[in-house]
Amino acid sequence: MVDPHKTDVRIGVLALQGDFKEHAKMLIDSGVNAVEVRTDTEIESIDGLIIPGGESTTMARLLIAYDLMELLKAKIASGFPVWGTCAGAILLADSAPDLDRPTIGGIPMTIKRNAFGTQVDSFETDLHILDLEGGDYHAIFIRAPLITEVATEVEIMSRLNNGEIVAVVNKNLMATCFHPEITNDKRLHSKFIDVVTKYKIDKSTEV
């Protein structure tokens, strides 16, 4: 593991809508610089980005209105690390058939919005997460999506007991259908900080 403190990693949380404040707090509590980002200049100043939970329709509209869609697509294509949680995961999917706007995309997967219906809109469960030390992860799902299809290169990080996919990683992109920012468990934030730290080090040593 690389030490994020030594590299002065700066992680942005997309702050157009949703629970960005909770993510920023988790990052700060994990010992890195966290900033709320809303503009292209702010996005250019960070080493990685979290797209929080909220409403993917609203966020997609605001991304288009603020002219951030193309910038994010280009940055993702160049390896920039992004972690999408819940609505954020929807925005990172190449295909979200029930979203009325285009996604940012980046992860070759299909995601289904509000996949758990109305009766079980929200639930909590313990998940086994790939390569996460320290036992199961207590995950909170709120009007959550489900990942229904993934390309072979996408690594599956976690499934529900019935086999449905709820977390994936694809190069420097992570997507989780649940809300890690409203627990006290910082392990997934630490995992993303590792991805960002490595990306920053690799970039600074590029010739």
Q: Least Å distance between CB 90 and ligand GLN?
A: 5
Closest to ligand GLN by CB, 53 or 105:
53
Question: Judged by CB under 6 A, which of 87, 107, 150, 169 binds ligand GLN?
Answer: 87
Q: Is 170 left (phi over 0), alpha (psi -120 to 50) or beta?
A: beta
Q: At closest approach, how far in Å is the CB of 55 from ligand GLN?
A: 5
Residue 81 CB, shortest distance to ligand GLN, in Å, is 20
Q: What is the DSSP string of the chain?
A: ---HHHHT-EEEEE-SSSSHHHHHHHHHHTTSEEEEE-SHHHHHT-SEEEE-SS-HHHHHHHHHHTT-HHHHHHHHHTT--EEEETHHHHHHEEE-TT-SS-----EEEEEETTTTTTTTSEEEEEE--TT--SS-EEEEEES--EEEEE-TTSEEEEE-TTS-EEEEEETTEEEESS-GGGSS--HHHHHHHHHHHHHHHHHHT--
Q: Is 173 or 175 the residue whose CB approaches ligand GLN more closely?
A: 175
17 sits near ligand GLN (criterion: CB under 6 A): no
Q: How many CB atoms are closer than 10 A to CB 74? A: 10
Which of 90, 147, 173, 188 touches ligand GLN (CB under 6 A)?
90
Pick from 93, 69, 97, 104: which is nearest to 170 by CA? 93
**Catalytic residues, which ones?**
86, 179, 181
Query: Binding of ligand GLN at residue 112 (CB under 6 A)?
Result: no
According to CB under 6 A, which one of 38, 61, 143, 198 is a site residue for ligand GLN? 143
CB 179, CB 142: distance < 8 Å: yes
Under the criterion CB under 6 A, does residue 114 sit at the interface with ligand GLN?
yes
Query: Residue 101 interacts with ligand GLN (CB under 6 A)?
Result: no
Name the minimum Å distance from CB 199 to ligand GLN: 25
Please report, as residue ranges, which positions from 25 to 84 form the binding site for ligand GLN (by CB under 6 A).
53-56
Total residues at interface with ligand GLN (CB under 6 A): 11
To ligand GLN, the closest distance from the beta carbon of 48 in angstroms equals 20
The verdict on 180 binding ligand GLN (CB under 6 A) reads no
Q: Enumerate binding residues for ligand GLN (CB under 6 A).
A: 53-56, 86-87, 90, 113-114, 142-143
